[in-house]
Structures are given as structure tokens and as C-alpha cells.
Amino acid sequence: MLKDQLQEVEKRIQAACDRAGRKREEVTLIAVSKTKPVETLQEAYDLGVRIFGENKVQELTAKYEALPKDIHWHMIGHLQTNKVKYIIDKAELIHSVDSLKLAETIEKEAAKHDLIADILVEVNVAEEESKFGMKMEEVIPFVEKVSAFPHVRVRGLMTIAPFVEDPEENRSIFADLHKLYIDIKKKNHDNDTVSVLSMGMTNDYEVAIEEGATMVRVGTGIFGARNYVV
């Protein structure tokens, strides 16, 4: 079952890349494994998955200890400043940086470990009340400030689009974020640093790819519906 779902997602990513005239290797698939047990992640690992996304610090750290060490862990959920220290040396990429205070904490914890933390700026493109993330106009000033931090590297942008029945409704959101991403790339003198646009989930990742996503975060499409009773 997992194998079939993974193949189906892979096929859809390829088809979306073909439609957009993009190469398959331009898009990284993140298997969103929140609430899923270690056994399920191991099964995905055995099928070749190496990049997993977790929403909760506690889950990420527990799975990090239990699973093979060549896995690339991404922190995709909202991150509280007091939890940064637990994942700073475990998460390869933090997708959900939405405030200067959080960026400052990441800088401080990364300095302690003598490492450079790669982050994405979370942008609330649709300005939904219920979602975290910066407004579009706040992003460039924020990136300019954080670029002075020696232990933090802004790798790009991330958004969680509204949940919609018809993914086409999110196309303009993805297109707007792609424009902002290109603007930041142009402003960034060290051009290779900004190379990640994380947008699109199970419901709308094909449209996101057509609009320029370089990372898609797929959970239900790979693992099936989540059990929130856990």
C-alpha cells in the first residue's frame, strides 16, 4: 500500500514537472511523517525515502534517535523559541521561521553548536488568521536583517496555502510567492544560498510544482490519513 501510494505521488510529480517544462530533479519530495509510527517510517525508508518532515519537536527528536542516521529531517511545524535547542543539530532545514525572535534564538543555539542553521521564511500569503507566517511585505526586510547573522542561512521561502477543494484556487498564492522568491534571489548577492521554495501539500502539490515549488510536503498522499488520537 505504501509502495503504491509513493509510486502514485512520484508519477504525479513527474507529470506536473512535464507540464511545467521542468526537470524532475528540480523538485524535492518531503515525506510528512507526523503522527506516524517509527515502523511506518522505516517501511518508507526501505522504499528509498530519505527526507522526512515532522511538525512536532518531540516527535522529530524521538524518531531521529530511532531511525537510520542518513535520514534528512525537516522541521515543518510551528517552532517555539524554547524548543529550538532540541532540534538545532538534528533538523537539516527549518521551514517555519516566522519572527525575528525565533531567528535570533536559532542564531544563538546554532552558535553554541558551531554550526550554520538553514532556514526558510514562512509566509502567510493568504493572510489567514489561523495560520502562522509573515505578511508578504515583511519578508524582504526580515531577510536583510537575518542575512547579517553568522550562524543562520536563509535558504528560501515556505507557505501553507489554504485548504481548498479545488487546488486551482491556490494557484495565485503559489505564483505570488514564486515572484517574491525570485525577487529575493535577485537581491541576494550570494545567489546559490536562496534556492528553496517549499509549497504544496497532498491537496495541491501538482499546482505548486507548476508554479515553481522546489520542495513539496506530502503526508496523506504517501502515508494515508493521520490518526490524531496518538
What structural domains and CATH numbers belong to the chain? 1-224 (3.20.20.10)
Q: How far is it, in rounded angstroms, from Cα 121 to Cα 141? A: 12
Is there a contact between 220 and 226 (Cβ–Cβ < 8 Å)? Answer: yes
**To 5 degrees, how large is the angle CA 15–CA 183–CA 26?**
25
Per-residue model confidence as pLDDT tens digits over 143-152: 999 999 999 9
**To 5 degrees, how large is the angle CA 67–CA 81–CA 143?**
100
What integer pLDDT is reported at residue 187 of this predicted model?
83
What integer pLDDT is reported at residue 130 of this predicted model?
87
Per-residue model confidence as pLDDT tens digits over 101-157: 999 999 999 999 999 999 999 999 999 888 999 999 999 999 999 999 999 999 999
Q: How far is it, in rounded angstroms, from Cα 102 to Cα 82? A: 9
Q: Which residues of the chain have pLDDT under 70?
A: 189-192, 226-230
What integer pLDDT is reported at residue 230 of this predicted model?
44
